[in-house]
Amino acid sequence: MFKKTLLLLILISLSLTSFVQKYIHLKTYNIDSLLSVLPDQLGEERVNSLNNLAVSLCYEEFELAEQYAEEAMNLAKELNYQEGIAAAYRNFGQIRFYQDDYPDALKNDFESLHIYEKLNNKYNIAALYSDIATLHFYAGNYEKAIEYGNIALDKFRER
């Protein structure tokens, strides 16, 4: 019970902070550097750079981020590069999250989660459970936020 109460208090304190807090957890990359190397890249390396561009732009340049995520998804599917497909789904989830489209964000996050589970990628599994908890929190589904937050904590401890 203490663990759930503590998690709820943490989630409530997050809601009291500014909207900017929504952007802190992103791992971003230098966009100019990615754009400079992208023309010479092929295969999985290109998919990774496209996904890195998408995540770096997802909170302010929605259309551009979506274009990069879509290109990453298409190429990853062509290559049957599961890690790239999962990352693209997660990027679509992030884009929808920052557009406040929580149902579609959840759908994409669960698609990504299922692939990462098949790949046994423990870090990304834990990170996605954390993303899903955050989505539920911002959507006002506090019980679900606690549920998925606890799963995320457990998954981070397992890795």
pLDDT in tens, 19-31: 434 444 556 667 7
- Look up the pTM and report it: 0.82
Per-residue pLDDT tens for 32-65? 777 777 788 899 999 998 999 998 888 788 899 9
Q: What are 74-116's pLDDT values in tens digits?
A: 999 999 999 999 999 999 999 999 999 999 999 999 999 999 9
SS (H, E, C) the chain: CHHHHHHHHHHHHHHHCCHHHHHCCCCCCCHHHHHHHHHHCCHHHHHHHHHHHHHHHCCCCHHHHHHHHHHHHHHHHHHCCHHHHHHHHHHHHHHHHHCCCHHHHHHHHHHHHHHHHHHCCHHHHHHHHHHHHHHHHHCCCHHHHHHHHHHHHHHHHHC
